[in-house]
Amino acid sequence: MTMPVRRHRGGAVQERPLGWARDPLTEFDQLLGEMSGLIESTVGGVAPAVAWTPLADVTESDDAFHVEIELPGVKSKDIDVEANGQELVVTGEIKEKERKGVLRRSTRRTGAFEYRLRLPGEVDTEKINAQMSDGVLTITVPKAEVAKPRHVEISETSESTESSG
Q: What pLDDT does 57 receive?
A: 95
How far is residue 75's CA from residue 81's CA, in Å, rounded to a whole number?
13
How many DSSP H helices and E strands does the chain contain?
2, 9
Q: What domains appear along the chain, each with residue ranges and CATH number?
A: 49-97+109-147 (2.60.40.790)
Taking the whole predicted model, whether its pTM rises above 0.85 is answered as no
Model confidence pLDDT, tens digit, residues 113-148: 999 999 988 899 899 999 999 999 999 999 988 766
The number of beta carbons lying within 10 Å of the beta carbon of residue 78 is 14
Rounding to the nearest 10 degrees, give the CA dihedral for residues 29, 96, 111, 66.
110
